[in-house]
Structure 1
Amino acid sequence: MSRSEDQVVLITGGARGIGAEVAKSLAARGAKVVITDLDETALAETAATIGDNALAVVADVCDLAAMQAAADTTLERFGRIDVVVANAGIASYGSVMAVDPAAFKRVLDINVLGVFHTARATVPALVDSQGYLLVVSSLAAFAAAPGLAAYNASKAGAEHFANALRLELAHQGVDVGCAHMSWIDTPLVRDAKKDLSSFQDMIKKMPYPLSRTTSVDACVKAFVKGIEKRRRHVYCPGWVRGVGLNRNVVNSAAGSKPVLKFVPDLLPRMDAEVAALGRSTSARNLANAENPAAVTDPKD
């Protein structure tokens, strides 16, 4: 019997990528999954693929009332919430002096406030079920990358939010985990590679193993295992743990040298490419920002 069987799992950012694949995997193991996202079309397609064990709820993690409604809908449908995966996240492109301030703010709104809203809406149900909440952070919380300051800051914020929430909820029987992944072959990374040759070059020039890209399948397996074992930390690949333990070295003057070598050439190229695009985020994210009900092109 799978530990996921009959569990009710709410996943934000569940229309595609890691969120969608984790939902599919958990549903296949007997869980009932509720997936939320802004992209109604992709969300419905993912839910249809999963079948009767899935419920799709269009909701913006930036809106606390919307997330509360999603939690209430889950309770009405399934009677409980056992696991929450705060997975929704986006990135912006460009240096601090060139990035669109509105895009920078939206990254923080989704990646940090979105996690808070998700927790605020679901923690009471998790207390009732003695459940588990997994906050999705990133390797970016440990090792900064030029041109991704908003993403770096937001994922570090998400990690420390999880640390604080863990302390607050432990005595109530709720476990809180935090996931850290390297570059994963998700729509977020593929969109950035498609938009910017400089982004592709940056990944290639990162010191090994920071230059490696991992499959979504490997990430999903790590997430599912972490959820079922209610782990404090989830790493994908495993070497990310070592980067976290040595983050002070990675961000030291000596540790920054390999990156500093390519910044003078790469960052101006990235800013020029962003200016030519006319946007500091992916087309999909821009469409959702301008119209939360927008149907975007799910080129996953």
Structure 2
Amino acid sequence: MTRSWDTRGRTAVVTGAARGLGAGLARCLADRGMRVALLGRETATLESVAATLPTQSHVVEVDVTDDEAMRRASEDVTRHLGAPSVVIANAGVAEGGPFETSDPATWRRVVEVNLVGSAATARSFLPGLRATRGYFLQIASTAAFGAAPMMSAYCASKAGAEAFARSLRAEVAHAGVAVGVAYLHWTDTDMIRDVDRHTVLRELRGHMPAPARRVYPVDRVAAWIARGVDRRSCSIYAPPWLRIAQAGRPFFPLAVDLLSRRELPRLMREHAFDQTGLLGHGGRIEEASLSRTAPAPEGETRDR
């Protein structure tokens, strides 16, 4: 569905809205006259973003992987702002490093937030989207185009999120609900701002063609995505030239395999490919959450 619609006065929901792209999207949608619900893990930061918006907003602190909490969040948003016309599943985390030595809990958390969290978001807000004949947007990545080495959890989760959104599109189109997938490349968020501090990510980016190494400002990426929301686009490319890269998808796995076979042995001799942990400030919050929920060693107890 590509028809334009008037978003003024409607309600939008953005997950992962405390900073980075989520905050940028909240501002773009508010500038278009939408009421905005900001969902995330940090109430104070969410409220500081909400205070900058020119329209009515509402903040909900929630873990997008918690189905019951997301159900309550949906009810809360509808009570304060009305049924949503736009829901953007933006919350995401990333980590890098060899799969073999990855921490199972960290690896699993990437998949839970990026894939399971998106599904929980859709499940919770679909009744509202049906009522408004609205638009659900899944934030994906060029990681869904071709899986990169040392980024197994992120690539798997983004490819899964893309497939989930496409499946959902086929299920709800008859109800007038549109579903889109946004493909992003390097965006200047705190998740990747320190990319060159991590050998695995620095080398990953360094072996890309020069145009593909460019990092795009959050405001520009948010504007590209908001334009796609205006059109209820099935696919949004940020930057737009990724539409051309989409056509080359069948060849990316072969290219990645050939490059990895040639370069990885040398790079692994020259560098220690350590685990990055969850990236960015949001990643550190998730890491803290993991440490609080980890089982105590035998013979110890944890305060509750």
Give the TM-score normalised by the residue count of structure 1.
0.89
Q: Residue 167 of structure 1 aligns to which amino acid in structure 2? A: A
| Range with greater deviation from structure 2 (238-247 or 10-19) | 238-247
Q: Distance in 2 between matches of 1:192 and 1:269?
A: 18
Match of 1:288 in 2: 286
Match of 1:262 in 2: 263
The one of 249, 252, 266 equivalent to 1:250 is 252
The one of 243, 257, 267 equivalent to 1:241 is 243
SS of residue in 1 equivalent to 2:192: helix
Match of 2:15 in 1: 12
Count of equivalent residues = 286
Q: Residue 235 of structure 1 aligns to which amino acid in structure 2? A: Y
Match of 1:298 in 2: none
Q: Distance in 2 between matches of 1:267 and 1:34?
A: 45
- The reply on whether 1:94 has 2:92 as its aligned counterpart is no
Larger Rg: 2
Question: What are the Cα deviations for residues 5-61 of structure 1, in whole angstroms up to 9, with x where unaligned?
Answer: 111000000000111011011112211000101122221211122255221110100
Question: What are the Cα deviations for residues 203-237 of structure 1, in whole angstroms up to 9, with x where unaligned?
Answer: 12213433222221221111100111100000011
Q: Could you list the runs of 5+ residues in structure 1 that have no partner in the other structure?
A: 295-300
CA distance 1:287–1:78, change in 2 (3 Å): closer
Match of 1:223 in 2: 225
Identity %: 34
Give the TM-score normalised by the residue count of structure 2.
0.87
Q: Could you list the runs of 5+ residues in structure 2 that have no partner in the other structure?
A: 293-304
Q: Residue 53 of structure 2 aligns to which amino acid in structure 1? A: I
Aligned-pair distance for 1:282?
A: 2.8
How much is the aligned-residue C-alpha RMSD, in angstroms? 2.1
Question: What are the Cα deviations for residues 162-215 of structure 1, in whole angstroms up to 9, with x where unaligned?
Answer: 000000000000000000011111111114444x14422321221343322222
Matches within 5 A, 1:1-300: 3-50=6-53, 53-194=56-197, 196-252=198-254, 254=255, 256-267=257-268, 272-274=273-275, 280-282=277-279, 284=281, 285-291=283-289
SS of residue in 1 equivalent to 2:84: coil
CA distance 1:63–1:243, change in 2 (3 Å): same
Q: Distance in 2 between matches of 1:255 and 1:99?
A: 21
Contact 2:192 2:279 in 1 (8 A): no
Question: What are the Cα deviations for residues 233-285 of structure 1, in whole angstroms up to 9, with x where unaligned?
Answer: 00011222222222111112x564344433224456775443xxxx6223632
Aligned-pair distance for 1:132?
A: 0.2
Contact 1:181 1:236 in 2 (8 A): yes
Contact 1:207 1:258 in 2 (8 A): no
